Every structure is written in structure tokens, then in C-alpha cells.
Structure 1
């Protein structure tokens, strides 16, 4: 029997869909033969409007994931109320900043807290707020999906972006625990681990021209990620992240599934 996969989803929420990876995957999911409804969510209303004009199966909702927990809960409850058939949530919001750990006097705590909130704590909160609905729907026999996007830097950190790497490592660890704890619920967790991918994520760092020579093109990434989503893989490393995952992560999930007695 094949594992449930993204082709089984009827209504997919993509958080962080206004650019880059989130936008590319939202459009790729929309183009699946199963013709799901795709809810695109993000901060930039003009970007959401551009997406919703392309199809009557794409709808937009503005959200800022750095809002407080009460506001995030209201957002989740509003989405579920408007779209009771929501059966998949993909988390793509992310920010990345360069920090020099050997210059603690220049620490920017606002950037650090924004990075941690966007990349990790907001995802934890939103998973918590969407899970009751997804678990209830899954209990009827219809599979539901949680799809966090982490990074190759969650496997091998990039010392130039230490807090980004740490936030993605935390999310990666959470994904593994979610797979194990939800294995009997019909809520399917699929983690995407991208390499360096063409996006706006790095623009503010002033190195777009250099990175553009080595990053994975967005369409190539989306195709590879969708192949994993269509297989229903629990972990979907893409590009050069595959070799890193095979070296450092392969077998970890199976070890966790053995339970505490194995440690």
C-alpha cells in the first residue's frame, strides 16, 4: 500500500507563499491533477493578490507569523472556520541573518528574536493550533498533512548564519518527534530539507550575485520537492542536502521509532 501523499490533499494552506520556495510549491501543488484548493498566506498583500488572480482555486489570507500567540490562534481558527475541509498545512516562512559570534558587542537582539520567532516558535504555535482540526479530520479516515520546511543547515550548520541554522535544527528535531508521536493518527508529517535555493531570503545580505552562481534554481527545487511530497516521504532532502542527510541523518527516525528502550 502506498503511503498517503500530497495528491490526497483537497485543501492546502501554504504559510509564507508570497515569494521563493513557498510560492513555487503553492503553484506546483495547485497544478496537481487532483486540483486542490490552495490557500496562500503571507505578509505582502500585493503578492497575495497577484497569486489569487491566477486561478479561482487559489485564495489569499494575509498573516504575519511574528504576531503574538493569541493572534496566531485566531488566524488558525479563522482558516479552519472558513475552510473546514483544510487537510494540509505547509510552513515556508523564513528569515536569515548573518551574525558574528566573535563580536558579541554588536549582537542585534531584535534580529535574533525575529529569526527565532519566524523560523521556529511561530511554527510550533501554528502546528499546535492546527493539529486538533487535522487530527479530527484524520480520524474520519481522510489523511491530513503537516509539511514543515527546514534546511540543509539543520543537518550541517552554516557558521555564518548560526541562529538561522539553530532555528532550523530545532524545527528538524521537532519534525522527527512529530512523525513518531503522530504515527497512529493518520496525520502525515513530511519535512522538506532544501539546499541553497534561488530566493529573496539572502537579498538583504548583499550577496545575491555571488549566491546566484551556486544556488539551485527554484523550478528545479520545486520539481524535486514535489516528487518527495507525491511519494509521501517523511523526510525530503533535496539537491546537495541528500548527501548530507544520508551521512548524518539516515536511520535516525528509525532509531527513534524503536522507543526509549533502545537508548
Structure 2
């Protein structure tokens, strides 16, 4: 597989964390980048900092509006050939202690982490298949999580949604084997972003304090590894624990994947 970063790149979830970091790194390579996210104020700031950056307000949890928004993006950027889905949300609650989430919050977390990416892929793949040729591959890249493989208590919806996203990637990659549409999954370790900011102190306390709790990797260090994997065209890009998760899963299930002709 050639580089997963092609000529025109749409990054969804570009206003913070990993998505913002990828936006800056890929823009610095001279690619045409379309930054998409919910927070218009942050999109405007990125526009000011990064000359030539295109921006789009997009809420991946607004499932019913995704076809319209994506249709507009494709009309404005018919040469789009790479989409990176980095939008994500993580809730933290204890059912045992009575600190419950709500039906609407549970639905929103699944929509952002799984349903939205699934709908986007359903809308994008036919477009990419129509325009494919040997010299112009297309890529859809999803940001997964090591917690897809080792789920933790107190964040069950996040873990379940990321497990579903991993399964989605494997299924789509197998179906698209032999085409020029590439499905990439990036599996980060624990990275220092805004994702867990609202409950980080409580989580550290529950894990035994700062000395016992895992230390997050910096976004910059993570991006160094992730970009390397993207540029050489790997379809599964694990960093730290994320790579161990991929390797362990592949080793355990490769006989079954081969039996059912799951190539990818």
C-alpha cells in the first residue's frame, strides 16, 4: 500500500487533540487540508494559523445531516481522496455507585465514536470506488483505541464503541481488498488530550494515585509514530500499547481470519 496520505485530506475532529495535531502535520507537508469539527471558533483560529487551510463545520453525531454535509464537501472538493476520522468522546461513570449516565449521553457517545464513522464510510466508499484508478488511491482512516482490545470499567460505552470501530475497520478492509480504497486504523495508547480532561483526577485517584496510574504519551510523540505509519502506507498503525494490542489480536485470531478469508 502506498502512502495513506494522498493529495486532498479531510480531517474530522480537527479542533483539538490528535485531530488538530494531524491537521498541522499534514498541512505542513503541503497537502490540501480540509479541517472539520463542531467548534467554529477553533476552526477560525486554525484558518488564521495555517495559510490555505479549508474549514467546514461538521458534527459527526448529527447522523441525519451527514449526507447533506458530505455531499456539499464533495461538491466543493471533488478531488478529495483521504478522510481521517478523529472525532471522539469518552464518558466516565460508575453504575455500581449510582453515578449513572443518561440515555441521551450514551446515544451521543455511540453516535460520535461509532455510528457517525460507520455512516460516513457508507457515504464515502461508493464515491471513492467510482473515482479509483491505479495512480489515485483513496484512504479512510479511523482513530481507534487500545481500549477496544482491553476494556476498562467506568468507561464501558467508550470501550464498546471503539471495539465496534475496530470491527468496522476489519470488515470494510476485507470487503475492499483488491480495490484502491484503503481502510486504515490507528490505535493509540493513552495520549494526553482533552478526551479525559473532565475526569482525569478522579481516574488517577481510583488507579492508586500519580505513582501507580499510567502516564500519558504526549500528542507530539504519538504523532511522530502515527505519521510514520501513514507515510509508509500501513493499514494498521499501532503506537505503544496500541501496537501490542494489534499484534496480540492478530496472533490470536489469524487462523479464523484466514478461514473466513478476511484479508486485511
Q: TM-score, normalised by structure 2?
A: 0.89
For residues 130 and 156 of structure 1, do their structure 2 counterparts lie closer, same or farther at Cα, with a shift above 3 Å needed?
same
Consecutive unaligned residues in structure 1, runs of 5 or more:
none
Q: How does 1:1-263 map to 2 (within 5 A)?
A: 3-7=1-5, 9-32=6-29, 35-69=30-64, 71-103=65-97, 106-139=100-133, 141-207=135-201, 210=204, 214-250=215-251, 252=253, 255-256=256-257, 258-259=259-260
Alpha-carbon offset, residue 258 of structure 1: 4.7
Alpha-carbon distance between aligned partners in 1 of 2:28 and 2:117, rounded to the nearest angstrom:
26
Q: Distance in 1 between matches of 2:57 and 2:251?
A: 37
Residues 202, 208 of structure 1: 8 Å contact kept? no
What secondary structure does 2:9 align onto? Answer: strand
Deviation at 1:40, TM superposition (A): 0.3
After superposition, give the CA deviation of every residue in 1:101-137 in whole Å (9 maximum; x if it has no partner). 3356834212111111110001111111111221112
Quote the RMSD (CA, aligned, Å).
2.4
Contact (CA 8 Å) 2:13, 2:86: kept in 1 or not? yes
Q: CA 1:226/1:250 → structure 2, altered by over 3 Å: closer, same or farther? A: farther
Whether the 8 Å CA contact 2:63–2:119 is kept in 1: the answer is no
Q: Are 2:4 and 2:234, in contact at CA under 8 Å, matched by a contact in 1?
A: no
Q: 1:179 to 1:139 in 2, by over 3 A?
A: same
- How far apart in 2 are the matches of 1:107 and 1:25? 31
Counterparts of 1:85 and 1:52, CA distance in 2: 21
Secondary structure of the residue that 2:55 maps to in structure 1? strand
In 2, are the aligned partners of 1:180 and 1:257 still within 8 Å (CA)?
no
TM-score (norm 1): 0.89
Aligned residues: 256
